[in-house]
């Protein structure tokens, strides 16, 4: 911006009073020092202005100056805000014709049944590019907490914890491969000491069991038993070696002998998080297990704001501390990014990678990431994460998603341009379209795009985004070819979302379990 674009602050300067011809309002001139003492000097005929007049002028000067300072400060802050949000100022240029924004189409909530393929590749089905529909709904128990959803193969497990004095848990298994879900079994287990919800991970799965807090559920029959670890949190299992943590300062190792879980070791750790693990959303691992075989380790739920991260050998219980504790003057908390063969600790100024033994593998200068990788295919390696942190494509996924917010000013008028760009991993090509500002996760955070879930079709035809906005979580399915955005009020309100198949997304809405499917798989809707 040129200097001509900034307002100038000036203070009013008091002007001298000039007497008019013959006027009596001006004070008489004072005698020069060379006058004799016996000469009569005329006295002023008017009174001197009261002191408050002088003070009033001073107050006016101060007030005007203060207002000018405030205006300049506000303008400076406004210009800074624009600059950090990729704002461009075009003072003399006319406002161009706005780019066409992709229209948003609201889905019909009427259930139409599921007619998809019932397959899971972790990649988004291209069928989502044709629209969004409700497949089916299931009622939930109003006397229980919001059910937790677990999808494995063609089976959906709904876990509903009791409330109040009723601490028993009801688990129902459904076959969801057909047009409508079919109930396989329903069981209600024994009362537990307490019900703990909203801890991560929510469950640990073995070949034949679901480990949910202090409950063990047989996948085939639904039989429930109380776990010997009580209310401790199951964190991960590797080759039959289970690790649980009390979310205070102790973790334990368990193995299954003759169908019974038996404790093998107990280890003291740094202070743990009461809510369990907190891992970065850059990658998504099903559990806290990194590595495999004899080199496997499990990330512990350590309070990363005060203590260094820790990992444990699930076979021996040996605890390894990663790096040094965070400094008290650190400007941002450490972020742990899980990889298939280790983990990365994102610090204030550097990203440092460690293998499953706690040894440093590489370190790079921390940079602002330019995109969000889709959460599909497989977990990345440390080597792949290193390239991604250098602003290279996310090679382990189907795509990398970018949302750029540009606030353009032409001749003093705002002209918003928000773009969604999807870079396909296999082809290296990118597709871009203009979208509404709703894609921004937080406009107050300088237009930084963040997402809790990102999925993409391998051919680049469809993208799914779950983002946090000022009014809550919002979901978008985007047809990249037709440049259309599909939304659903019910999907936005849904919680505990889980992907059952590539073309079936299930969540809990108001008093029911709701499944969402592509409109393309529903011939009854093609006529509308």
The predicted-structure confidence for 65-113, as pLDDT tens digits, reads as follows 776 666 666 665 555 454 444 444 444 545 555 566 788 899 999 999 9
First to last CA, the chain: 52
- Does this model's pTM top 0.95? My answer is no
Please give the biggest Cα pair distance in the chain: 129
SS3 of residue 307 by DSSP: coil
Q: Which residue has the higher pLDDT, 3 or 346?
A: 346
- Provide the pLDDT for residue 86: 44
% the chain with pLDDT above 70: 73
Q: What is the pLDDT of residues 127-155, one digit of tens each?
A: 999 999 999 999 999 888 899 999 999 99
% the chain with pLDDT above 90: 52
- Provide the pLDDT for residue 175: 98
Q: Which residue has the higher pLDDT, 2 or 257?
A: 257
Q: What is the pLDDT of residues 160-197, one digit of tens each?
A: 998 877 778 999 999 999 999 999 999 998 887 766 77
Q: How confident is the model at residue 250 (pLDDT cuts 50, 70, 90)?
A: very high
Which backbone phi and psi does 400 adopt, to 5 degrees? -120, 130
Q: Which residue has the higher pLDDT, 268 or 450?
A: 268
Residue 380 has pLDDT above 60, yes or no: yes
Q: Which residue has the higher pLDDT, 419 or 86?
A: 419
Q: Which residue has the higher pLDDT, 369 or 109?
A: 109
Average pLDDT, the chain: 81
- Provide the pLDDT for residue 439: 66
- Provide the pLDDT for residue 525: 40
Residue 116 has pLDDT above 60, yes or no: yes
- Provide the pLDDT for residue 103: 85
Q: Which of 244, 246, 245 is nearest to 254 (CA)?
A: 244
* Residue 359, number of CB atoms within 10 A of its CB: 11
- Provide the pLDDT for residue 331: 57
- Provide the pLDDT for residue 10: 42
Q: Which residue has the higher pLDDT, 25 or 361?
A: 361
Q: Which of 343, 442, 464 is nearest to 398 (CA)?
A: 464
Q: Which residue has the higher pLDDT, 33 or 54?
A: 54
- Provide the pLDDT for residue 188: 94
Residue 64 has pLDDT above 80, yes or no: no
d(CA 493, CA 25): 78
Residue 7 has pLDDT above 80, yes or no: no
- The alpha helices in 85-131, defined as continuous H runs, are none
Q: How confident is the model at residue 17 (pLDDT cuts 50, 70, 90)?
A: very low
Q: Which of 202, 307, 301, 216 is nearest to 254 (CA)?
A: 216
SS3 of residue 85 by DSSP: coil
* Residue 186, number of CB atoms within 10 A of its CB: 13
Residue 279, token pair as written in the block:
């891992």
- Average pLDDT on 40-60 reads 53
Burial pattern 124-162, b for ≥16 Cβ within 10 A else e, equals bbbbbbbbbbbbbbbebeeebbebbbbbeeeebbbbbbb
Q: What is the pLDDT of residues 233-242, one digit of tens each?
A: 999 999 999 9
Residue 298, token pair as written in the block:
């499990």
Residue 477 has pLDDT above 60, yes or no: yes
Instruction: Report yes or no: 124 and 117 within 8 Å, Cβ to Cβ.
Output: no
Q: Which domains does the chain have, with CATH numbers?
A: 104-525 (2.130.10)
- Provide the pLDDT for residue 207: 94
Q: What is the pLDDT of residues 251-268, one digit of tens each?
A: 999 999 988 999 999 999
């Amino acid at each position: 911006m040129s200097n001509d674009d900034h307002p100038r602050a000036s203070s009013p300067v008091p002007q001298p009073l000039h007497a008019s011809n013959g006027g009596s309002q001006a004070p008489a001139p004072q005698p020069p020092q060379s006058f004799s003492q016996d000469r009569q000097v005329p006295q002023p005929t008017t009174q001197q202005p009261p002191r408050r007049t002088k003070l009033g002028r001073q107050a006016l000067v101060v007030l005007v100056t203060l207002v000018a300072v405030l205006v300049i400060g506000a303008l400076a802050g406004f210009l800074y805000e624009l600059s950090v949000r990729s704002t461009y100022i075009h003072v003399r240029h006319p406002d161009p014709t706005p780019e066409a924004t992709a229209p948003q189409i609201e889905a019909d909530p009427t259930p139409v049944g599921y007619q998809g393929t019932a397959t899971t590749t972790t990649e988004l089905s291209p069928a989502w590019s044709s629209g969004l529909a409700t497949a089916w709904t299931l009622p939930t128990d109003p006397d229980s907490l919001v059910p937790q959803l677990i999808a494995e193969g063609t089976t959906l497990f709904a876990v509903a914890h009791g409330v109040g004095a009723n601490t028993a848990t009801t688990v129902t298994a459904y076959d969801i491969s057909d047009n409508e879900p079919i109930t396989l079994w329903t069981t209600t287990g024994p009362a537990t000491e307490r019900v703990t919800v909203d801890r991560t991970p929510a469950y640990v799965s073995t070949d034949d069991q679901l480990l949910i807090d202090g409950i063990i559920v047989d996948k085939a029959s639904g039989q429930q038993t109380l776990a010997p670890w009580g209310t401790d949190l199951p964190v991960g299992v590797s080759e039959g070696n289970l690790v649980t943590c009390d979310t205070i300062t102790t973790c334990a190792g368990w193995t299954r002998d003759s169908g019974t879980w038996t404790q093998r070791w107990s280890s003291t750790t740094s202070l743990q998080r009461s809510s369990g693990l907190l891992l970065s959303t850059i990658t998504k691992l099903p559990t806290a297990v990194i590595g495999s075989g004899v080199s496997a380790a499990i990330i512990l739920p350590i309070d990363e704001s005060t203590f260094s991260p820790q990992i444990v050998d699930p076979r021996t219980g040996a605890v390894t501390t990663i790096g040094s504790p965070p400094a008290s003057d650190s400007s941002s908390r450490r972020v742990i990014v899980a990889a298939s063969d280790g983990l990365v600790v994102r610090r204030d100024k550097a990203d440092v990678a460690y293998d499953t033994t706690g040894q440093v593998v590489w370190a790079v200068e921390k940079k602002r990431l330019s995109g969000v990788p889709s959460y599909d295919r497989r977990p990345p390696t440390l080597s792949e994460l290193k390239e991604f942190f250098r602003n290279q494509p996310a090679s382990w996924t189907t795509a990398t998603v970018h949302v750029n917010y540009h606030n353009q000013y032409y001749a003093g008028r705002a002209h918003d341009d928000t773009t969604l760009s999807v870079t396909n991993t296999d082809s290296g090509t990118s597709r871009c379209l203009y979208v509404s500002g709703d894609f921004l996760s937080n406009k107050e955070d300088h237009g930084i795009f963040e997402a809790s879930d990102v999925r993409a079709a391998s051919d680049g035809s469809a993208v799914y985004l779950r983002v946090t906005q000022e009014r809550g979580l919002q979901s978008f399915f985007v047809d990249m070819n037709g440049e259309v955005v599909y939304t659903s009020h019910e999907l936005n309100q849904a919680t505990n979302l889980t992907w059952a198949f590539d073309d079936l997304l299930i969540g809990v809405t108001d008093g029911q379990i709701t499944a969402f499917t592509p409109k393309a798989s529903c011939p009854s809707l093609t006529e509308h």
